[in-house]
Structure 1
Amino acid sequence: MIEFSITFFALAVPAVIFAGLSKGGFGSGAAFAATPLLALILDPGAAIGLMLPLLMLMDVTALRPYWRQWDNESALALIVGSVPGILIGTLLYSFADPDVFRFLIGVIAVGFVGFQGVKALGWIRKSERLLPRSAGWIAGAVAGFTSFISHAGGPPAAVYLLSRGLTKTGFQATTVIVFWAINLLKFIPYAALGIFSYHTFLAGLILAPVAVFGVWLGVKCHRALPERLFFALTYVFLIITGAKLIYDSLT
């Protein structure tokens, strides 16, 4: 059950705006940051159940400004590969304790920062040649699983897309179409597992205008806001919330 308190809205509103900013202008990589924050005050199932319809709304809102600017081959490889990852996530969710998901969400949050640090050090670079389609399937499977657990499919997808020689806008457009499809694929197992509820639906309805505003703001900031500043704030936020979730799950 979701309690519509001042604390809930104080955390949920900025979290959803932050997710919209990422969806609209920064490759969707940090969009999952809303999930760890919400998981501090909600059951993990309620947190991911609340965010999925909002993320789907963000996907649809972001499709128009980036329409047909994506790389079809890369997008198809990631989408097809995501299917087995989503299936594994479905099987795990059906028997795992909520603390397992708090731990996984926390680990993924901290791991996201680690991934970005490794990339900043130059250990992950754009490949001089295109990776094979099979690499896209593998990256898609990992993205499907981490996306199912905590809406955090951005890093594995980014590893593959870094090799594709895409422009900044092409990269953004490809992530938009890929996660639009992945989120659609997740909707049916989420519903079957009972992740959605009346309260998550009501909270999503209330927060829907906030989600649209966040995407609009992200599109506007795509060229104006320094990417380094946006992600620096994201990393600090994720380290704190991720560590808290790991601590809570273990204690």
Structure 2
Amino acid sequence: MTLISDPYFYLLAIPVCLLIGISKGGFAGSLGILSVPLLSLLISPVQAAAIVLPILCVMDIFGLIAYRRTADWRNLAYLLPGALAGILIGYLLFNYLSADFIKILLGVICVIFTLNHYIRKVPADHAAKANLTRGSFWGTIAGFTSFVAHAGGPPVQFYMLPQKINKTLYVGTSVWFFFVINYVKLIPYGLLGQFSMQNIGTSLVLLPLAPIGIWLGVKAHKLISEEVFYRIAYMLLLLVGGKLLWDGLSGMNLLF
């Protein structure tokens, strides 16, 4: 079986895969956005995305086992059509947009949204409602960024967090959302020739970490209060946004 042989890659990839699982199982994928940027320290972003996708798909199955009866179906109905359109846009533009462009785009959105949350100081009893227009817009952004760099978490958070729904319902909705779009992404990834024998072999080696990470995330979710959960979610958005913005501006290669 052909796979990446660099031991330094696995020293990085093993904790990254566990981090993705913990994030998907307990924190609605907040930290999953770091997977491709971190692995890109040692391999190309395109290869990193291809290796991570099958692992995400396996994690989605274990996530559904944990949250199979938990989802906000109205929000899913608003988000998913736009997400499918975003995946199509990502597929059509994949050969033209650089990793730096995507990092800058995500970084700006993350930072502006989080700072706006803290500056506005919305009353605790105020919550946004599910909305088709906003859901379609953020769903499209999530589908696009998820296709390019498995970074669909922040756009979904931008739409869902202001609704202040129960944390378990929030995570369950996110699990269902990414289950659908990650499996849809397998088709265009295959058409783009990203599933080489080396990439598939490396994914298979890392796959056993998927259920372990999800299990750790579910346990962490049960131990953390809803107030702390939302504090962590917004804090992670700000940190991730700053990291992506820094990396993108450092590269400044906006087009291939």
TM-score bin, normalised by smaller chain: 0.7 to 0.9
TM-score (norm 1): 0.86
Deviation digits for residues 134-180 of structure 1 (CA, Å, limit 9, x no counterpart): 32111111110111111111122122223545200000000000011
Q: Alpha-carbon deviation of 1:221?
A: 0.6
Structure 2 residue aligned with 1:179? 178
Structure 2 residue aligned with 1:47? 48
Three-state SS of the structure 1 residue aligned to 2:207 is helix
Structure 2 residue aligned with 1:96? 96
Could you tell me which amino acid in structure 2 is paired with residue 183 of structure 1? Answer: N
Could you tell me which amino acid in structure 2 is paired with residue 67 of structure 1? Answer: R
Kindly indicate whether residue 132 of structure 2 is the aligned counterpart of residue 133 of structure 1.
yes
Kindly indicate whether residue 36 of structure 2 is the aligned counterpart of residue 35 of structure 1.
yes
Sort the Cα spacing of 1:127 and 1:154 in 2 relative to 1 into closer, same or farther, 3 A: farther
**CA contact 2:87–2:144 (8 Å) conserved in 1:** yes
Three-state SS of the structure 2 residue aligned to 1:68 is coil
Sort the Cα spacing of 1:122 and 1:21 in 2 relative to 1 into closer, same or farther, 3 A: farther
Sort the Cα spacing of 1:135 and 1:4 in 2 relative to 1 into closer, same or farther, 3 A: same
Structure 2 residue aligned with 1:208? 207
Deviates most, 115-124 or 62-71: 115-124
**CA contact 1:127–1:162 (8 Å) conserved in 2:** no
The separation in 1 between residues aligned to 2:159 and 2:192, in whole angstroms, is 30
Q: List aligned pairs for 1:37-76, cutoff 5 A.
A: 37-76=38-77
Report the RMSD for the aligned CA atoms in angstroms.
2.8
Deviation digits for residues 193-230 of structure 1 (CA, Å, limit 9, x no counterpart): 11221111111111111122111100011132564568
The separation in 2 between residues aligned to 1:230 and 1:135, in whole angstroms, is 20
The separation in 2 between residues aligned to 1:10 and 1:239, in whole angstroms, is 24
Structure 2 residue aligned with 1:193? 192
Question: Which blocks of at least 5 consecutive residues in structure 2 are unaligned?
Answer: none
TM-score (norm 2): 0.84
**CA contact 1:44–1:102 (8 Å) conserved in 2:** no
The separation in 2 between residues aligned to 1:10 and 1:246, in whole angstroms, is 27
Question: Which blocks of at least 5 consecutive residues in structure 1 are unaligned?
Answer: none
Could you tell me which amino acid in structure 1 is paired with residue 246 of structure 2? Answer: A
Deviates most, 206-215 or 107-116: 107-116
Deviates most, 180-189 or 131-140: 131-140
Q: Alpha-carbon deviation of 1:104?
A: 1.6
Could you tell me which amino acid in structure 1 is paired with residue 206 of structure 2? Answer: L
| Matched residues, number | 248
The separation in 1 between residues aligned to 2:49 and 2:243, in whole angstroms, is 19
Q: Alpha-carbon deviation of 1:105?
A: 3.3
**CA contact 2:99–2:248 (8 Å) conserved in 1:** no
